[in-house]
Structure 1
Amino acid sequence: MTSSCTFRPPFWLPNGDFETIWAPFFSRKEPASLRRELWTTPDEDRIAVDWVEGNASAPLLVLFHGLGSSSRGHYALSLGAALQQLGWNGCFVNFRGCGGVDNLLPRAYHAGDSAEIAWIIERLHHSQRPLYAVGVSLGGNALLKYLGEEHPDYLAGAAAVCAPVDLVATAAHIATQPFYEQYFVRTLKRQMGRYARRFPDLVDWQAVHRAKSLHAFDDAFTAPVHGFDDAMSYWRAGSSGPGLARVRTHTLLINSRNDPIVPVDAVAQWPRSSAVSTCFTQRGGHVGYVQGKFPGRTRWLPEQILRFFQGEGTDAKA
């Protein structure tokens, strides 16, 4: 494992764009064995969770994925392999409609859905094992929003990776990056076909299909489905940044300064409580962190997170 949060990428990944794209599509995938369960939500919907089986008394780590991803994302598989090697248990959550399982209700998932995080963590708390939580990108913001609210202190520790804690600033930045914005918009619109067939009167589906930007998509779908007036009101209400000063759980923020999606300055600007430490690397891209010989591995991220949870020390800054 690494001795600090310093990250050094291979020479053949020259910038944040290469690091971001290479990790999910071309890096070497880590072997991880997952066992699936279907859970019923408090409002009688369903989600899929995938388990990493460890020692019965070992800690349990819950993972919340990013936008358009699932429990099978490259970072999830790397984390699962690391947990298996350590003997820890993992519960990798698929948000509603993700992981190949359609949800039953119109409600989907969004970056500020701390209520979804809350009931999952409360359910896992009853396992009577030390409980840790990791959120990645969108899932990281939702987890941090939960941590900044008034909830029982169920977690022994938490980590958020490349979390867009200021959704307004992140959306404005992505709007200047057409490659990434169009990738996200196309991913979201592909998911909408299933929603439109099951809930034909839910929203103005023509407006959803016409959306060319995240702002237009969130105006047409995310905001009205989840009770917000428009995209801007959703982004403001869903941002976790204002709550970072209230976090009580020992928490690590991992962000890259060359992240092409989440501007690190929009993370660093928010006041943080003494419980929140930061690991702001110079390189890494957006949830990339590829190292080693070609085609590279994504082991650095889970190693860093687990070091933090085990209290072995990093050069992370409070």
Structure 2
Amino acid sequence: MPLVKSAYKPSLLFKSGHFSTIYSSKLRVAPSVQQLRERIHLKDGDFLDIDWSYSKNKSHQLAILIHGLEGNAQRPYMKGVASHLNKNSWDTVAINLRGCSGEPNRLFRSYTAGATEDLEDVLHHILKNYNYTNIILNGFSLGGNLILKYLGERPFVPQEIKKAVVVSTPLMLDQSLEELNKFSNSIYARYFLKSLRKKIKEKAAMFPNEFSENKWKEIKSLLDFDMVYTSKAHGFKDAYDYYRKNSSLQFLPDIKIPVLILNAQNDSFLSPACLPYKFAENHKYIYLETPKYGGHVGFFDKNNLYYNEKRTLDFIKTL
């Protein structure tokens, strides 16, 4: 498909990628959304909490939302798109990935950028118990990578899934880690690591035979976390094996529904590989939009309605 020319033109302050990222994550007031929680029990004995929000009128259209690393359904970017879609006749359900709903998950394993079996379980639950004929997937950062992998690794996806929109998505996980490890991104790396270390300390207490306290103390970086915990808890040889097998770029060729990838050029989390211009030009279903500005999930716009939220609705209007 032709590359999408972006209409996003923010005000002066929001031309800074770092300002956009930090403001949108820490200072944006989340739109008001009434969320109703449902717990799904998974096949392996664990659980997922999903948060529903509804349009005023009964709808057969559903958007499934997936947050980024150490996010949850209450983050401003999640509530922002849920609010906008609810106002435009879409129900939404936001998935809190394992351990992200405010309660530790039951198992030693947690969530990853490629755990598509959890998305599959949510879809199975929804299709079995609810009457939605049109479903779209909307993911942010890690959640976007998970959605792209899900769509590309299977020969078929449920016919109810019509389109997907992914925002600020690291298509190459190892390269995005390299970007996060740069000094200019140290504030973000420290934030993620602090949250992850807190969770892994809880895991060590829950599973002393799996993860000793001394092992927990070895984690000094995001790479350490994936080496010491992520890879071992989820069946990978090491962190690099995890990155290689779960990076979504390799799954794009086999996607068979329309997908919009919205990645800002000044997103400091993303490497050049996350802006695959030549590939998108020749793919029937991949729409690539790369605004000059936007930071990481920071597409600020007027009236607390973000550009990515407007683009998501615009992209899915015609199914």
TM-score of the aligned structures, taking structure 1 as reference length: 0.91
Q: 2:131 aligns to what?
A: 128
Change (3 A) 1:183 1:113: same
1:245-264 alignment, distance < 5 Å: 245-264=253-272
CA contact (8 A) 1:48 1:101 kept: no
Whole-Å separation in 2 of the counterparts to 1:231 and 1:301 = 31
Q: CA deviation at 1:20?
A: 0.3
Question: Is the contact between residue 113 and residue 142 of structure 2 (CA under 8 Å) also seen in structure 1?
Answer: yes
CA distance in 2, matches of 1:311, 1:112: 29
- In the alignment, the residues of structure 1 paired with residue 272 and residue 52 of structure 2 have an alpha-carbon distance, to the nearest angstrom, of 32
The answer as to whether partners of 1:241 and 1:267 remain within 8 angstroms in 2 is no
CA contact (8 A) 2:17 2:295 kept: yes
> Could you tell me how far apart the structure 2 residues matched to 1:228 and 1:289 are?
35
Counterpart position of 1:111: 113
**Aligned equivalent of 1:316:** none
What secondary structure, in the 3-state scheme, does the structure 1 residue paired with 2:63 have?
strand
Could you say which residue in structure 2 is the equivalent of 1:171? 177
Is 1:89 the counterpart of 2:91 in the alignment?
Answer: yes
Give the structure 2 partner of residue 30 of structure 1.
Answer: 31
Shift, 1:25, TM fit: 1.1
| CA offsets 1:175-228 (integer angstroms, 9 cap, x no match) | 113222222111211222221221112234423333222111100110000011
Q: Does 1:279 align with 2:289?
A: yes
Moved more, 65-74 or 13-22: 13-22
Distance 1:252 1:133 in 2: 10
Tell me by how many angstroms 1:169 deviates: 1.1
C-alpha distance in structure 1 between counterparts of 2:238 and 2:149, whole Å: 20
Moved more, 270-279 or 299-308: 270-279
Which has the larger displacement, 168-177 or 301-310? 168-177
8 A Cα contact 1:23 1:298, kept in partner: no
CA contact (8 A) 1:53 1:84 kept: yes
Amino-acid identity (%): 27
CA contact (8 A) 1:75 1:298 kept: no
Deviation of 1:301 (Å): 1.5
The one of 140, 146, 165 aligned to 2:144: 140
Counterpart for residue 45 of structure 2: 44
Q: Please give the secondary structure, in 1, of the residue aligned with 2:290.
A: strand
Gaps of 5+ in 2: none
Q: 1:68 aligns with which of 63, 67, 70?
A: 70
The count of residues paired between Structure 1 and Structure 2 equals 307
If each structure's helix is expressed as a fraction of its own residues, which one has the higher value?
A: 2
Q: SS state of the match for residue 185, structure 1?
A: helix
Extract structure 1 runs of 4+ deviating beyond 4 A: none
Segment of structure 1 superposing worse, 51-60 or 70-79:
51-60
Q: Which amino acid aligns with 2:267?
A: D
Q: 1:205 to 1:247 in 2, by over 3 A?
A: farther
Post-superposition offset of 1:264? 4.4
Residue 233 of structure 1 corresponds to which residue in structure 2? 241
**Can you list the C-alpha shifts for 1:267-318, whole angstroms capped at 9, x where unaligned?**
41683531111111100000011123xxx72432211111101139xxxxxx
Flag structure 1 segments of 5+ consecutive residues without an equivalent.
313-318
**What's the CA shift for 1:47?**
1.1
Q: Does 2:221 correspond to 1:213?
A: yes
Write the distance in 2 (CA, Å) between the matches of 1:299 and 1:95. 23
Q: Deviations over 1:152-179 (max 9, x none)?
A: 3321111111111111111112111322
Q: Which moved more, 1:124-133 or 1:85-94?
A: 124-133
Look up the equivalent residue of 2:47 and give its one-letter code. R
Shift of 1:14: 4.3
Shift of residue 144, structure 1, vs aligned partner: 0.4
- Calculate the aligned-residue CA RMSD, in Å: 1.9
